[in-house]
Structure 1
Amino acid sequence: MELELRINGVTEGIEAAPNESLLSLLRRQGYTSVKHGCETGECGACTVLVDGVPRPSCVMLAAQVGGCSLSTVENLGSAEKLHPLQSAFIELGAVGCGFCTSGMLLSAQALLQSNPTPSEEDVRDALSGNLCRCTGYAKPVQAVLRAAALMRGDKAEPVKHAIISADEQHVGQMDGDTDKQPGLVSSGTTTKIGAVTTKIPTLTPQMLAAASTAAAPVVPRPRIPLQVMGTATPASNALKATTGKTMFAGDQTLNRMAYARILTSPHAHAVIRAIDVSHAQALSGVLAVLTYKDVPRVPYSSIERIGSEEPLRDQYCLDYVMRYVGDRVAVVVAETAEIAEQALTLINVEYEAQPVILDPRQAMAQGAARIHAEGESHGILDATRNIAARVRTEVGDVEKGFAASEHVIETEYLVPPTQQAPLEKYSVITYFDPEEYLVVRTNSQLPHYLRRTLAQVIGLPMRRIRVEQPEIGGNFGARQHMEGEDLCALLTMVTKRPVKLEYSRAEEFQHNHMRQQYILRMKTGFRRDGTLVASQMVVLADTGAYATHVLTNAIQAVNALALYPCQNMRFLAEVLYTNHAPASSSQGYELQHEYLALESHLDDVARQLGIDALTLRRRNCLKVGDRYPLPPTVGGSNGSNIVIENCELAACLRQVEEKLGWKAKRGQKSNDRYRRGVGMAISFYGDAGIVNSTSGASIKLNEDGSFDLFAGRSENGTQLNTFLSQIAAEVLGVTSSDILLHNADTSVAPFENSANDVAAFYMGGNVVKKATEQIRRQIMMVAARMLGVVPETLKINNGIIRGAHGAQVTMAQVAMQAMYTENRQLMTTASWKAQQMPLTFAVQGIEVEVDIETGGIRIVKAITAIDAGRPINPALLEVQVEGDVAQALGRSISEEMFYDADGVPLITSWQDSHLFSAIEMPELQTYLIESNDTSELFGARAVAGIALYGIAPAISNAIFDAVDIRIRQLPFTPERILRAIHAYMARQAS
C-alpha cells in the first residue's frame, strides 16, 4: 500500500506493508534518529511527533498515520542553527549517551508548543514517557525549563555547579566529634566550610606510635592553575545526539544484508541428544544454519581478564550442553529477519533435562549437579562442587580479634539478580570489506579483546579482523563481553555476505548477561567505645552459567571492607556456578553488594553500642596518612604500602550531614501513618595495588593547528572522550575543539585493556597526558627555532605560542614550519601502565517516608557528596552522578529479576522491570568536593559509578530510622516492608 506522509515538511508517497510499524518505515527512510529501544512503546526512544503529538512509533502502524504530518528531531534544528532546546541540552550536559535524547527533545518540544511556561512538575510529566539510564533526568528537566525561559524572551540564570572549593576545605585528618574520638585532641585551630565551623584535630604521640597502618603525614602539593580542566566543556557527543546524527551499532544498513536469529534453550540445564535442522535449511530464503556440529569446539572466555590470572575458559561458540534458559542452541541466517525467525520454529531438538541449580548455596551441596562436567574447559577451581574460583585476602588474626572484642555482631544480606537494561539493544554487523578484512561492527566495549578472542574461536588470523566500535547507547557493564560476534562472524564467513544480529527487548531481559545475585555475611568485633577490632566479609557470588564478571570483580585490589581499617581483617569470596544467565559487570567496580552489607551493618552496630552512626564511621574510617589495610587478592603484594595521600571524606560527611538535617531529623519518632527517617552511607573505590592494565595513544599535529589523537574507547555515556580531549587541550594550550579524537576502530585505536570505566579514565587520561606532553616538547623546539629563543621561555595559550618579549607564532604556523621547511611530521606515541589508581570517596544521604499501613516507600531526597579531586568537568560529572543515583534507586526499590522453579526468567519487558521515570525521581542534590590534589591528571578523579554504592544502604538505614525495621534483601518493595512491619509489631506485642 502507498501512504502519503508529510515528514519534516516534505510530502512523500511511500510504500508500506499493512503490518509495518511506523518505526520501521521511518528507519527504512533513513531517519535513524528514531531509535529502536523496545517493542512495547515504553522507553520513548522512538518518539516522533504525529500532528504535533508525541507518539511511540514502535507500536503504531505506518498505515495509521497516512495523511499526517510527522516530525523527527532532524526537523527541530541543525548544527548551524540549533533550537533553544538543543542548545540548553548541550549547555547543561543533559545528553548522556545520547540514545534517548531525540525522543526526549521531541516530548519537550510538544510540551513547550502547548505550554510555554511549564512548571518543573509539568516538564517531568511530559518526559515521563522517555526512559533514561544515564542522566537521572535532573539536567534534562533543567534544560527544558531553561529553553522555555529563552523562548519566552526571559533572561536565563547563569549555570551554577555545586562545587565546594578546595579553599574552603581543611587540610589534615578526619574531624567531627573530636572530643569523642580516641587519640584526638583539639588543636584550637578552626576552619569554615559553608556555615559549619569545625575544629581541626591533631595527632597525639600515642596515636602516631600505635597504628601499624599509619604513614607519615602527606604534604600538599602546590596548586597548578588550569585553563581547560575544570570547565563545563560541552560533551563531545552532544551536538550529534541533539541533532539526531549519532549512529549506534544497529543504525547501519548494508547492501545484501542478511539477518541472523539465535535458537535458545528453553531449559536451564539440559543435554542435546538430537538436533535436526533439515526443515529449516529447506525453507526458502534461509542461507545457513549452524549447530555445535558445524563449529570448532574451542574453549574461551567472553570477557578480558587481567594478565596475572590463570586463564579460565569455560564457554564454547555452540555447545551440546545447555546451562541456562537462553543458552545458544543454533543460529540461522536468512534474507530477512522474519524468515530467520520462522526457520527457528522448524528446528527440531531433543533435550535431556538435567537438575537445575538457582541458589548459589545449593551449588556446593553434596551431590549437586555439575554445571561444567566437560573435560575441555580449564581454569575452573573445583568443577565437582561448582566453584569457579575462590578469592581470599587477610591481615592479622581475625579469630583472635573477635575473641578480644567486647561486642561481636553478625548479619546476612541478599542482593538479587537484576538486568543492567541499557536502552540500546545488543546489535552486531559483520561483513568483508574490499580488502577482505572481516569487519565486526558491535556495541561491545572491549574491541581489542574481542578481536583476539574471535581469531581463536573462528580460526581467522587476527590481522584479518577489524572491530569497529560505534558509540554505545549506555553500557553499565552489560557490554563488557563477547555476546554474539562469533556467531555473526561465522555466518559471514559461510555466506560471504553482511550479517546483522540484533536482540529483541525480551531477549535482552531473558538471555543477555545480568548483574547476578550475592549472599553476604558481615561480622565485626568492637570495643564498647566504638573502636573496630576485627572485621570479616564472606560472599557467595553467583557467576551464572559461565565464569564472567563476578569472578573478575571479586579479585579487584579494593574491597569495601578496607573502608574501615583495623588490625584483623578478612575478605573471602566463593564464586559459584548456577543455571542463571552469565553475570555482567557494572560501572566502576562491582561493589554495590559489599556496601549494602557493610554500611547497613555499621548502623546496626551503632544502634547496639548506643553511638551515633556518623560518630562511629568517623572514628573508624580511612583517613589521610593511613596505609591501605588489605593486601591485593591478586597481582602483587604492594597494597599495604599504598598511603592515602588525599581524602576529603570529612568534608563530604559534613556536607551531607548538614543538607540532610541529620541532627534535627535522626531518631525523631512519630506515631503518624507516614513516618520519615534519614540514613547515610559512605563508600570509596579505586585500586590500591598493582593494576595489570595498559593503554596506548598517538597524536599528530595537523597543518591547521588541530591535533589528531588516537586513544581511548567509544563513547558510552561516561563522557570519557570529552575528558580525554580536555586533558589533551590542557597540556597543549589549545581548546577542546582543536582535539580530534579517533578511537572507534582497532585498526587505528591503540591497545587498551582496562575493564571498567574508572580504569579507562585513568589509563586513557594518563597515556593521553604523556603523549601530549611529548608532542608539546616537539612543538616548543620548532617554535623556539622560529622565534630565536630557548624553548623554556615559551608559553602556549589558546593555540598561540608566545615568547618573553611579545614575539609569537600560532600552532598552525609551527605545523607548516615543521612540514614544509624542516620536512618532518610532528607526531608521537606513548604507552602507560598503571601502578595504582587514586581512591575516590563519597557520602550519600537519603530521607524516606514510609507508609506503615501499606509498606509504601517514598524517597524524599537523595544527597551525594563526592571527593572529586579537581573536578575535570563539573557539568558532566554531575550528570554522571545523577544517572548513577537513578539507577541505584531502581535497584534499591523496584528492579529485580524473577525466575520460576525451572529457571525460566519471568521478567521480559519494561512493564515487568520498573525503572524510575522523570516524574518518580526525588529531589537530587549533588556536591563535588574539590581537594587540593595535583597528582597525575591535574588532580582529577573518576566518579563514574561510585554513586551506585551508597544509595541502597542509605535507604535501608533511613527505613531503620523511620520504623525500626531492618530489611536485609534488595529491593525494598512495599511487600517486604509491610511483612517486616507486621513481624516487628508481633514481636512488640508478645
Structure 2
Amino acid sequence: MSKTDFVGKPEKKVDGRKLVLGKPVFTDDFRLPGMLYAELLVSPHAHARIKNIDASKALALPGVVKVLTYKDLPRVNYASGGQSYPQPLPFDQVSLDDKVRHVGDRVALVAAETPELAQKALRLINVEYEVLPHVTDMEAAMKDGAPVIHDEPGVEGIFDTQHNVIYHIDEHVGDIEKAFAEADHVFEREFRTPKQHHAQMELHACITYWDEDDRLVVRTSTQVPFHVRRIIAPLIGLPIKRIRVVKPRIGGGFGGKQEILLEDLCAHMTIATGRPVRLQYSRRQEFMSGRSRHPQIIKFKLAVKDNEVTGTELRLIGDTGAYASHGLTVQMVAGLKSLTLYNAPNSHFLCDVVYTNTPPAGAFRGYGTMQCEFALEVMMEEIAEKLGLDVIEFKRKNLIKVGDNMWVAQKLGEGREGYAQVMTTSAFDECLKIGVEATDFYNKRKAYQNQSGSKRKGIGVATVMHGSGIAGLDMGAATLKMNDDGSFNLQMGATDLGTGSDTILAQMAAEILSIPVEDFIVYSSDTDFTPFDTGAYASSTTYISGGAVRNVALEIKKQIQAHAADMLEWKNPEELELRDRKVIAPDGRSVTFEQVALSSTHQMNQHQIMATASHMSYMSPPPTAAQFVEVEVDTETGEVKVERMLMVVDCGRVINPITAAGQVEGGMQQALGFAHSEFSLFDESGDMVNARLAEYHAYKAHEMPATDVIFVQTDDPNGPFGAKSISELAIDGVAPALVSAIHDATGVWIRELPLTPEKVWRSLNQ
C-alpha cells in the first residue's frame, strides 16, 4: 500500500464538535412560527376493517386544527421501502386505508397547537371497527383457510394472495440433485431467528412546511432523502420539482430509516392546513408502527464429498409482516451472501416471503445475510465435529477464494437479476490466523474439554462476508467547489447516519488535494443543493459514494493544476505537485491554493473551479472477517455470560481507524442483542407485549463484554483507495460464534435465537 497523508489516519469527525456541544442539529431541534404538532392514531387490532370514523369531538376541542382519515386522502398505492427505481412490486400500501393489518397500523392523523392537545384529541376520535381473524405465525399464514391479509383489489405482484405468499423464489446453479447423490455425507438442519427492532436513540421525526417559493420542504430523519422525494410525490399530488427533502444529523438508523414512514402523512397535513407540521413517533410506535428485522425459518441441506462442500440448498421462509416493504430484497440478499460464503458450484435457493398480521419488517443492518450466515456457520461447525475435522481448517478449506466466480450472483441480484461477480480480495486466512493466536483458541478449546461444576467456559468462532453496495444499481455523486481562501465546499448526496461517512469522504478528497480535512465544509443530503445518491444502505457509502468523491477530487486537482500552470507559465500542468495547500512546480516555484482561488475567480481567465462527478460499480467486493466469542455458561440456570468478543476484519483499506473500529464495536453490540436477548413477543390479540425499552432487552453500554477489533488490510482494486465496506459485516458473526462457544462449553447445539436462559436451560435438559 502506498503512503498516505490523510487516508488511514484517525481524523476527528467533522461533525463531532457540534454534536458534543449539543447544537440543534437533529430534525426535532427545529421549530417554525405557527408550527402544528401532529399525532398518529394507530390500530389496537391486528386485523380489522374501519366501518366508520367520527372525529367531530376531536375537532371541537379548542386548539385542534385538523383530523385526516382515509376519507380525506386519495387512494394512491405505494411501497414504503426506500429502494431504487423501479421499486419491486407489490405496491400494497396507501397513506390512510379503511383496513388495518397490524396493531400499530395507521388510522388517523391529528394536528393541534400543542402536542398535549393533539394527544388528547386522539382519545376523542371514535372508530368503529369490524374485527377480522388474524395470523401472526408465518407458517400458519401459508395454510389453507388462513386469514387473507391483502384482499384489496388492484394490487399487482402478489404471488399467492389466498395463502399470503407475496414472493416465491426458486433459483439454482449446477446440478444440486447430482451433488446430493454423489456426496459422501448429506446434512440437513433447521434454524429460526427472531424479530429484532432497531432501538435507535433518535425517534423517527419529520417536519414539513411551505417555503417562500410555495415549495414543500420536508425535514426528516431519513437514510434515503432522494427516495423520499420520489416516493411521496404521487402520494401528495405534487411534482418532484416542488418538493425539497433535507436530511439533518441522524441519531441512528440501522436500516429502519430506509423507509417512508412519516413523510407522506406530515406533508398531507401541511397541504391541508397550510401550516408547518411536526410529526414524531413515540417509543412504542417505533416498535409497533416502525420496522424490524425479518424473522426467518432457515433450512440448509449440504452435500460434502472428500471433506468439501459440493452442494448447498437453502429453503427459506421470511416473515415480512403486514406489508411487503423490503421482503423480496432481504431474502434475495440472504440467499446470495450465504450461498456464496462457501460457494458450492451446485446451489439451490427456494424461498417464500409471507405476510402476517404483525408490524412490518424492513431493512435492518445485516439485511438477511446475518440470519442465514448464522445458520450456515453453526451447521458447518457441526459438520466438522461429526466428521472429526478441525473446524478452522474445514472452514478455511471450503471458504470462497480470491479469483473464484460467485456462482449464484447473477441469479440473485437485489429484487432483480444480478451481475456476475468474482472474489477480488479476501483475508479469511489472515483473519483466522490472527484471531486464533489473539484468543489462544486451540489451547482454550483443549482446556475446556474436561470441565466440572456448573459454570462452564467456551470459545466459539465464525467466518462471515458481506458486500459493498448493490452491483449495477447503487450510484452516488459529489460536488466540489473552491472558495476564495482555497477551502472547499464538499456537497454529497451520501447520508451520514452517525457512522462518520462525512468525515471519511472528506479524508478521501483531502488525500487527493493534499490539504487538511479541516479545509472542507461538508454538506450532505439536501435534494435541492447536493447531487443524487441512492442513500445510506447496502454498505454502499464508503465504496460507492467514496468513488464519487475520489472522481470529483481528481477532476478538481486537474483544474487547479491547469490554472496554476497558467499562473506559473509552466507548460505541462500534470507535472505540478499539490502539497501543503500549495501547487509546486519542479523548479521550486509555487502558488498557494488561496492565490489560485483568487486568480481564477477575480483575475486570470475568470472561472469557478468546481466539478461534479458520479460513481457506480458492477462489482460488489465482499469484506471478510473472523469472529471469536468467549462465554461462561451456568448449566444450572441456562444463563450465558459473554466475556469477550473479538472480530478480525478485512474491509479493504481502512480510511479512518477510529470510525471503522466504532462501526465494528457497534455492530457486535447490536448482533449480541440479536443473538442473546432481543425478540418480539406477541399475545393472542397480535399485540407486542414487550414494546418498551424497559422490557425489550437491547444490550446497554455497561452490560457489554470486552470487545476488540483487529484490522487486516487488503487493497481492493475496485474500491476508492482500496476500501471495501464495513458496517454490515460487523453484525454478521456474533450469533454463530456465540452458539459455537456455548457448544464448546456444554456440548449442546442450539438452533433458535435468541439464546435466552430458558432456551439454553431447556436445550441442556432435553
CA shift, 1:444, in A, is 1.6
Other-structure match for 1:647: 426
CA shift, 1:613, in A, is 1.0
Listed as ranges, the matches of 1:526-925 within 5 Å are 526-527=304-305, 529-556=306-333, 558-587=336-365, 589-632=367-410, 633-634=412-413, 639-640=419-420, 642-666=421-445, 668-669=448-449, 670-686=451-467, 690-754=471-535, 756=537, 758-789=539-570, 790-821=572-603, 822-925=605-708
Q: Is 2:740 the partner of 1:957?
A: yes
C-alpha distance in structure 2 between counterparts of 1:634 and 1:945, whole Å = 18
Between stretches 589-598 and 323-332, larger displacement belongs to: 589-598
Other-structure match for 2:251: 473
CA shift, 1:584, in A, is 2.3
Check the 8 A contact 1:510/1:907 in 2, yes or no: no
Q: Is 2:5 the partner of 1:224?
A: no
What secondary structure, in the 3-state scheme, does the structure 1 residue paired with 2:212 have? Answer: coil
Other-structure match for 2:709: 926
Closer/same/farther in 2, CA of residues 566 and 713 from structure 1, 3 Å limit = closer
Other-structure match for 1:44: none
72, 80, 93: which is aligned to 1:302? 80
CA shift, 1:757, in A, is 5.3
Cα shift readout 1:620-666 (whole Å, capped 9, x = no counterpart): 101122121213324786744x3222211100001111122221122
- TM-score for the superposition, normalised by structure 1: 0.75
Check the 8 A contact 1:780/1:791 in 2, yes or no: yes
Other-structure match for 1:73: none
C-alpha distance in structure 1 between counterparts of 2:597 and 2:368, whole Å = 46
C-alpha distance in structure 2 between counterparts of 1:309 and 1:908, whole Å = 30
80, 86, 108: which is aligned to 1:330? 108
Between stretches 298-307 and 770-779, larger displacement belongs to: 298-307
C-alpha distance in structure 2 between counterparts of 1:393 and 1:234, whole Å = 46
Q: Which amino acid aligns with 1:660?
A: T
CA shift, 1:521, in A, is 0.5
Listed as ranges, the matches of 1:164-563 within 5 Å are 223-307=1-85, 310-527=88-305, 529-556=306-333, 558-563=336-341
Gaps of 5+ in 2: none
Q: Which amino acid aligns with 1:499?
A: V
C-alpha distance in structure 2 between counterparts of 1:807 and 1:508, whole Å = 61
CA shift, 1:687, in A, is 5.5
Cα shift readout 1:539-565 (whole Å, capped 9, x = no counterpart): 111111111123222234842221102
Cα shift readout 1:283-332 (whole Å, capped 9, x = no counterpart): 21110111101001000011233446644211100001101000011111
Cα shift readout 1:838-872 (whole Å, capped 9, x = no counterpart): 21001100111100111111111101000122211
Please give the root-mean-square deviation of Cα atoms over the aligned residues, in Å: 1.7
What secondary structure, in the 3-state scheme, does the structure 2 residue paired with 1:356 have? Answer: coil
Check the 8 A contact 2:542/2:725 in 1, yes or no: yes
What secondary structure, in the 3-state scheme, does the structure 1 residue paired with 2:461 have? Answer: strand
What secondary structure, in the 3-state scheme, does the structure 2 residue paired with 1:665 have? Answer: helix
Other-structure match for 1:137: none
C-alpha distance in structure 2 between counterparts of 1:501 and 1:594, whole Å = 36
C-alpha distance in structure 2 between counterparts of 1:364 and 1:908, whole Å = 26
Aligned sequence identity (%): 38
Other-structure match for 1:200: none
Cα shift readout 1:779-827 (whole Å, capped 9, x = no counterpart): 1101111112211211111211111111111111111111112111111
Q: Which amino acid aligns with 1:727?
A: M
Check the 8 A contact 1:757/1:944 in 2, yes or no: no
CA shift, 1:585, in A, is 1.3
Closer/same/farther in 2, CA of residues 936 and 416 from structure 1, 3 Å limit = closer
Closer/same/farther in 2, CA of residues 592 and 830 from structure 1, 3 Å limit = same
Other-structure match for 1:53: none
Closer/same/farther in 2, CA of residues 308 and 343 from structure 1, 3 Å limit = closer
Cα shift readout 1:463-499 (whole Å, capped 9, x = no counterpart): 1111111111011111111111111111111111111
Other-structure match for 1:140: none
CA shift, 1:225, in A, is 2.5
CA shift, 1:258, in A, is 1.0
C-alpha distance in structure 2 between counterparts of 1:710 and 1:617, whole Å = 44
C-alpha distance in structure 2 between counterparts of 1:369 and 1:386, whole Å = 8
What secondary structure, in the 3-state scheme, does the structure 2 residue paired with 1:838 have? Answer: coil
C-alpha distance in structure 2 between counterparts of 1:837 and 1:224, whole Å = 23
Closer/same/farther in 2, CA of residues 246 and 724 from structure 1, 3 Å limit = farther
Gaps of 5+ in 1: 1-222, 984-990
Cα shift readout 1:485-522 (whole Å, capped 9, x = no counterpart): 11111111111111111111122122211113111101
C-alpha distance in structure 2 between counterparts of 1:393 and 1:702, whole Å = 54
C-alpha distance in structure 1 between counterparts of 2:526 and 2:439, whole Å = 47
Check the 8 A contact 1:855/1:975 in 2, yes or no: yes
C-alpha distance in structure 2 between counterparts of 1:694 and 1:479, whole Å = 19
C-alpha distance in structure 2 between counterparts of 1:452 and 1:935, whole Å = 30
Other-structure match for 1:18: none
Check the 8 A contact 1:380/1:388 in 2, yes or no: yes
What secondary structure, in the 3-state scheme, does the structure 2 residue paired with 1:679 have? Answer: strand
Check the 8 A contact 1:628/1:688 in 2, yes or no: no
Cα shift readout 1:419-465 (whole Å, capped 9, x = no counterpart): 11001111111111222111111102111111112110010122111
Check the 8 A contact 1:308/1:634 in 2, yes or no: no
